[in-house]
Structure 1
Amino acid sequence: MTNQQPPQRFTPMSQLATDYPVLVIDTNAPLRELHNCVSERLNAVLKYLNLMACTSLPDYAENDINTVTNIALILLRDVSDVFKVIEQRGFDTPNKP
């Protein structure tokens, strides 16, 4: 017999700047709200990267490019973390007859 731990209500988000998780995802949040969170971030980063793709790179210093990359990385990491919760919830839900 295996002892299964109940799923944690809050799961930490990925972070590089801290040793202790300060941002968490409520795994019990309604799927629609989780989807809205993912959609908002994904659409923002897509628009942001599209804007940057239409900008002439010689106009910007290397530091500016690093800033743009870091912003996109943080937003996409958020998207990935929330998608993991959505997927886990979807895969863990038993099929109802």
Structure 2
Amino acid sequence: MRVSELAETAEAVAATSSRLAKTDALARLLTRAEPDEIPVITGLLLAAPRQGRLGVGRRGIAALDVPHAAEPTLTIADVDHVLEELVGASGSGSAAVRTG
């Protein structure tokens, strides 16, 4: 599943006050997801990734200068893999891994 689908769903959930609409949007997202993506998606939606504490704050993420892709290609698996790398980074050079 593409991260853009997750982002669109998160925006739809934030844009409505209807609990039924929120539940419906989340149910549609999770129904389309592969079983192994569900824990990753859930963690991202709750701002609690399955990897736990990443050692990267909002300020560090906001400081990244990454160009937007012409077409959405980033997948949930891609994000999960990068988060695994962040958590595994330690020692000399770990700050460089965390800041791109």
The verdict on a shared fold, with TM-score over 0.5 as the criterion, is no
TM-score (norm 2): 0.28
